[in-house]
Structure 1
């Protein structure tokens, strides 16, 4: 049953107030004999280290040891540790959905990943594994005043461990698992002198694919072939001044994921008229190609032609879909390479009762992905993309350290990705002479489509910001923040390739593009973001707060029209309570939120040439309403029993929104349930749930410690995650529904008495749930899915790591 937003708004306000009263009463009445207290967590969510319980916004902090215990190795597994987070697997570009942000319609990253306070300008950079991590901070809700870019619905900040000048240390770990997993990782920390130290961290991982290719043993996907190295040099000439220099490099050459969905699902057919597409309430006919059925017109008989012309009605085996969600039969061996080199400078200086922090970074990220485009065992088509992202950024903040009722932070931010080498392209090639434009094509020498699009461009962004907190009394604080941003965006399309010059487009090397015939498109946006909040400390262990915050994403250049799109904005309210109960053994926090995303875009598809392949572009789409409630807690029940939990209720929905239905059109006939607006065939989704936003998620982890005396300790850990289900595509189509599920992870860890040695056995996804993480609708109404990882087991042996 759907809950009305007005009801939810009243309910969440009432819940927050009630929780504050309940927690206050509970704190006054509870008096136990337990003397231990949970660890105090310091976070940098306000650009200064602060007890997480004193930060008046929803923040989740995950320590490096917790990441290891929960088998959170990369961004794809973050959702089980952060209430309300969903991570979609969109090829090599994972996307974080939080409080409705990122579910639809932004021209840039809506919930970005930061590394050591530096913004990662592409989501592919977030695929770097988590190695030697101090903690991860998840800030929920817009963070537009203090952080650099695009914190539309929040941000994830990954903070690595720094060199230590106190002592020499080293550690390492080896993980062995099924699917041929071999992972080695380690670090060494070397104090060169009292004020100089360096730290080197490295990892190597190899794993077979989770998805088997029965046609080509070299073409399994969802595998790993990954290396990572990070070096840091710390210089601390005094107790009040430090410089940390970091260089890192990682590379992944595994087959990885396909660009979109990897598993063909079929064609959505109307039950009463098998000549019509019905994505609203039809059935999914298990074939891949155009949707005409066999001659007898039977609605329940698989049929139809593949994209390569095969026909299951005539007995062509390649027109059918191989059974099994994690089985494929593609001929083409993926060509995939992701690589990043990064340099960081972090300066921390305490002077004149102020903290001066300088953070700078330079990123060079490249990606190439070529995959089987026809998703069959026939040599037909390949498609993919490549991109280069070079950027630099600088963030300088000055924060007060003196005693007094007024505390403030001011700063300046600069970002530049307008490097002429920053090119990106969609690629399509034929492996056979399937059309007139692909003469001479063979599997060894693909013929690249003349209409392939390549572009270059980037953004220069500058911002001035400040945030101040004034203590009106010992209990009441008021905070105000402001940020002024100017974004200068430019883009240029490459000169078109010649249709007639087929020799210039024959591979295997990609065709060389030139620039000059098309003008450079430029556009500027500026925006002012605000934050106003108040927090009231009922006592030392109970705080309530309320905040209003805005965020903004500059409009991008439309691929088709080369015009600058309007910016997107978010205006959000949040009220919350933070409490420490049961003599410090229970940390319990709750937040209710409400926001509106406006100026969002939607994806339209423009068919290219005669192939039926459509290329995506962004056009105005509408707005989204975001509403919800979150609870998270950590409880030391006894000295040996620990429970952590998180609950999210998210009822985000489209406000006014249209979704393109072009890929479901066949022979000019609109799919059932769609509408025609201004000659565009669309779905009107006003009031529908936004994708990837389950109404409810619940995560509960339980750990128990067995003391073995001189033999150390054993800690079994169980983590259960319930998800109420969601839709895995922006359009309201029946085949994208993901039903409710419960996923369970198990582990048992032995630690030696001194804590130096450990052995951890784990089972991820022990219940072996099959979960749709993405649903793609290709041109000609073909449906394909991406799924989560299957059950996998392993053992990690570690020394001091």
Structure 2
């Protein structure tokens, strides 16, 4: 039996562009004679045999938990190898989305994380333990439950594989509409290969990374990989323009008189605005300062047994992304804000990932995959973004409170998982795989929201401290999939997964300001909202238990027309568990049924590949989550199950070698995503009084609206040419992304609540020397386009978060 094992240890950290493979759409069929996907089988890998320069190099994926040819694997999957990731300067999931049809990612400032939408379905609230994503993220096949893990630096990767459509049968939890699997580079026995790189760019960007393979003996090897990336923040600090003392008195004196009449035991007096309350120095918002290191170990005592284990540490000391005014105040730079809460992020994660592969005999293989991760973090964030400057120490313009911070005092989680798989190997009439899975999460968070009238000096408008010391998730599953290879052309696949989930909220409380006669100061980490004398009282307890279970499945037929063309059709279902919201109130699970047809073709003797898919999805019980204010003035996070949505679309991916020196890649997607019945509310938007029965907070009937982050049409075109020089190869490249307008929320509230159609162009120029060093220059967002990823108008003026402005830089590296 021959198992495909890529020679990952001999690969460059930044592979030459001439070997770049952006292999496109694939599927999820167990191909005839497919072999198990062990830890070395990357999501994308070149064949070990020399490539024909006139053909696109053959690509292998692990979408079916086996290593199979991309063109023989019928599910919509985009596979990006290390060269493609390097060419596009991919660091986070947000950098990946333009390379994948129907995929988008949204920055969430107050937690500094990224949420994902695929084929029009996602959840912008999936940024803490409160909500789970619809797009699951895996590293080396191990589920990463919290979005912080998905936004960690993507470094020393063999490949990223993005699977579109429900992947619950084989991949498991929360892969309702898709899954992203990242494969790290593994150690290689007998190899002394390594590489390092240094980079510099605008906004004082500094980058460094390196990877080294260390052979120990003929059965063991180590690999060490490190990375550091930093740049200054994009958002400048505005100088405050303070009203005159007379203007401040005119605004404040009536408010002071009313307060003192209502609170004779706690009077306040006039204070002039303190200019020092506005941040003018230090780290800026939208800054990066991230480091990571990974130590990987391989032990292969025999040809039939292999163990890969790794330890990874990730540290983030950057800053969150800021909400900017969409229409900046006169005389102010667009990339600036009036800030009264200094930004900070402190996140540390530790992860251990292990995989054991054992070939029991020529017909059966066993795999045991286990993972453990621990995370701790905190952050401070200026939620109001200076939208309404203070008119006095305790008043602000536009009738707003003026000052609001969203501060994660502490956040922590631990999770571990175990997965046992047994599968057939070799060429068989029936390929099969069976598995058992167990995962546990233990989450906790304290999240403070101080809202003050005017400035920090002013009186309390409202403030809350949400403390969830323990929230657990236990998930167990059994799954299986089999393919009957009826003949060399026809393949019939069926699969199932039974999942049982249990969630517990233990000791959680929502605490609000209830005593206006207490000291008028913003809540801060030194205050104990559960103790006395702070003005807080507990208005809600979140204890509860929720249990859920679901059987999901897959049925698929694929047909190989000839060795270069195949077609497939499938029906698959996805599921995401319900849970508990504030007050311990349960919400239900959501499910999706996906009907899909597709084709995969290779033309002109391997010079052109085209992969297509068309799908129709019935999405039921969409979990819509948002911060809300209740009739009694208390606040919380509310989740309701919408009736769902109907989504359909088509996707295409084309890769072509026009000549031996010219490469073209094209991806495109058309998406139509419409909500069914939903009455939604959110404190992030100004909404009318609710007329729907049983809803006390402002709301809007959004039935029939377009789902957010789902442009009707999007496309990506990349072209590169290789010039052979005396001592190396020079490769210029251009990559252009276009998409039509898309809404930024379910409310569809006009132009400020959507991103207009745009084009974004990235440019690159790389020189690969025969002496194994390289030079790579790049410009990203050459148009300097202002591309919104989220919007809000809770503070009056419309604000938004944006993708980075134009950035440029160079990287210089060497392999050995």
Q: TM-score, normalised by structure 1?
A: 0.82
Q: Can you list the C-alpha shifts for 1:288-327, whole angstroms capped at 9, x where unaligned? A: xxxxxxxxxxxxxxxxxxxxxxxxxxxxxxxx67734311
- Residue 181 in 1 paired to residue 201 in 2? no
Change (3 A) 1:78 1:437: closer
Whole-Å separation in 2 of the counterparts to 1:518 and 1:771 = 40
Distance 2:563 2:576 in 1: 38
Q: Distance in 2 between matches of 1:517 and 1:774?
A: 30
**Which of residues 554, 557, 561 in structure 1 aligns to 2:580?**
557
Q: Alpha-carbon deviation of 1:604? A: 4.8
Deviation by residue 1:601-652 (Cα, 9 ceiling, x = unmatched): 3235433899x89543212322111100000011111100000110101111
Residues 181-219 of structure 1, C-alpha deviation per residue, up to 9 Å, x if partnerless? 011110111001011110110111221012222342325
Contact conserved, 2:623 with 2:641, CA < 8 A, in 1? yes
Q: Which residue of 1 aligns with 2:292?
A: 228
For 1:150, what is the secondary structure of its paired residue? coil
How many residues matched? 692
**Counterparts in 2 of 1:227 and 1:334: CA distance versus 1, 3 Å:** same
> Does the 8 Å contact 1:696/1:724 carry over to 2?
yes
CA–CA separation in structure 1 for the residues paired with 2:630 and 2:546? 27
- Contact map agreement 2:508 2:542 (CA 8 A) in 1: no
- 1:72 is aligned, of 90, 93, 97, to 90
Instruction: Tell me the residue number matched to 1:799.
Output: 814
Q: Does the alignment pair 1:488 with 2:505?
A: no
The whole-number CA distance in structure 2 between the counterparts of 1:396 and 1:759 is 44
Which aligned pairs between 1:436-585 and structure 2 lie closer than 5 A?
A: 449=463, 451-454=465-468, 456-495=470-509, 499=514, 507-509=524-526, 511=528, 518=541, 520-559=543-582, 561-585=583-607
Distance 2:230 2:542 in 1: 45
Aligned to 1:647: 668
Q: 1:429 deviation in Å?
A: 6.1
Give the whole-Å Cα distance in 1 for the aligned partners of 2:94 and 2:634: 29
Q: Is the 8 A contact 1:428 1:452 kept in 2?
A: no
Distance 1:209 1:240 in 2: 51
- Residues 622, 658 of structure 1: 8 Å contact kept: no
Cα 1:370–1:706, aligned 2, differ >3 Å: closer, same or farther?
same
Instruction: Pick closer, same or farther for the CA change 1:193–1:459 going to 2, 3 Å.
Output: same
State the distance in 1 between where 2:372 and 2:331 align: 45
Structure 1 unaligned runs (5+)? 1-15, 17-33, 267-285, 287-319, 439-448
Q: Give secondary structure in 1 for the equivalent of 2:203.
A: coil
Provide the secondary structure at the position in 2 that maps to 1:691: coil
**How big is the shift at 1:74?**
1.4
**1:726 maps onto 2:742 in alignment:** yes
Which one of 787, 793, 799 corresponds to residue 802 of structure 2?
787
**562 and 639 in structure 1: CA distance in 2 versus 1, 3 angstrom threshold:** same
Question: How far apart are the structure 1 equivalents of 2:805 and 2:434?
Answer: 47
1:368 corresponds, among 357, 368, 378, to: 378
Q: Mean Cα displacement is larger for which, 514-523 or 219-228?
A: 514-523
In structure 2, the CA distance between the partners of 1:697 and 1:481, relative to structure 1 (3 Å rule), is same
Give CA deviations for 1:544-584 in whole Å, capped at 9, x if unaligned.
0000000100002021x412211000001110001111101
Matches of 1:461 and 1:633, distance apart in 2? 39
Alignment of 1:127 onto 2:151: yes
Displacement of 1:128 in angstroms is 1.1
Partner-residue secondary structure (3-state), 2:381: strand
Inter-partner Cα distance in structure 1 for 2:460 and 2:757: 48
Q: Deviations over 1:504-557 (max 9, x none)?
A: 986453537699995730011010000000000000110100000001000020
For residues 651-683 of structure 1, the C-alpha deviation after alignment (integer angstroms, 9 at most, x for no partner) is 1111222222666558xx64xxx7544445432
- Check 1:93–1:321 CA distance in 2 against 1; reply closer, same or farther (3 A cut): farther
- CA separation in 2, counterparts of 1:727 and 1:163? 44
Distance 1:487 1:103 in 2: 20
Q: What is the CA–CA distance in structure 2 between the aligned matches of 1:160 and 1:616, rounded to whole Å?
A: 36
Q: For residue 282 of structure 2, give the secondary structure of its aligned residue in structure 1.
A: helix
In the TM superposition, residue 169 of structure 1 has moved relative to its aligned partner by 1.7
Change (3 A) 1:537 1:105: farther
More moved, 402-411 vs 717-726: 402-411
8 Å Cα contact 2:567-2:598 kept in structure 1: yes
Cα separation, 1, equivalents of 2:202 and 2:692 = 51
Taking the aligned partners of 2:133 and 2:684, their CA distance within structure 1 comes to 24
Structure 1 residues 331-730: aligned runs within 5 Å: 331-352=340-361, 353-376=363-386, 380-385=403-408, 386-417=410-441, 419=442, 422-428=444-450, 432-435=456-459, 449=463, 451-454=465-468, 456-495=470-509, 499=514, 507-509=524-526, 511=528, 518=541, 520-559=543-582, 561-607=583-629, 614-660=635-681, 670=689, 676-680=692-696, 681-709=698-726, 711-730=727-746
- Find the aligned partners of 2:155 and 2:717 in 1 and give their Cα distance: 25
In 1, Cα distance between equivalents of 2:540 and 2:146: 28
Tell me the C-alpha RMSD between the 2 structures: 2.7
Using the alignment, how far apart are the partners of 2:149 and 2:660 within structure 1?
A: 40
Give 1:238's aligned residue.
302
Aligned ranges for residues 6-155 of structure 1 at < 5 Å? 36-91=54-109, 92-102=112-122, 107-155=131-179
Q: What is the deviation of 1:787?
A: 0.7
Indicate how the Cα distance of structure 1 residues 193 and 679 shifts in structure 2: closer, same or farther if over 3 A, else same: closer
After TM superposition, give the deviation of residue 115 of structure 1 in Å. 0.7
Query: Do the aligned residues in 2 keep the contact of 1:602 with 1:621 (CA within 8 Å)?
Result: yes
In 1, the alpha carbon distance for the partners of 2:527 and 2:422 equals 48
Q: CA deviation at 1:79?
A: 1.3
The residue that corresponds to 2:13 in the other structure is none
2:215 is matched with which residue? 191
Equivalent pair of 1:174/1:797 in contact (CA under 8 Å): yes
3-state DSSP class of the match of 2:171? coil
Is the deviation greater in 421-430 or in 691-700?
A: 421-430
Contact 1:596-1:625 at 8 Å conserved across structures: yes
For residues 474-499 of structure 1, give each alpha carbon's deviation from its aligned partner in whole angstroms, at most 9, with x where no partner exists.
11000000000000011135356584
> Corresponding residue for 1:264?
325
Taking the aligned partners of 2:466 and 2:63, their CA distance within structure 1 comes to 43
Contact 1:492 / 1:518 at 8 angstroms: preserved in 2? no
Task: Give the conservation status (yes or no) of the 8 Å contact 1:504–1:511.
Answer: no
Tell me the residue number matched to 1:13: none
Partner secondary structure for residue 168 of structure 2: coil
Paired position in structure 2 for 1:159 = 183
* Distance in 2 between residues matched to 1:648 and 1:551, nearest whole Å: 21
- Structure with more contact order per residue of length (Cα contacts < 8 Å, sep ≥ 6): 1
Per the normalisation by structure 2, the TM-score is 0.80
Change over 3 Å in CA distance of 1:580–1:437 after alignment to 2: closer
Q: CA offsets, 1:761-795, max 9 Å, x none?
A: 000011111111111242x6553210110011100
- Change in Cα spacing, 1:521 to 1:189, as seen in structure 2 (3 Å) is same
Distance 2:542 2:617 in 1: 38
Which residue of 773, 784, 808 maps to 1:757?
Answer: 773
Distance 2:325 2:735 in 1: 32
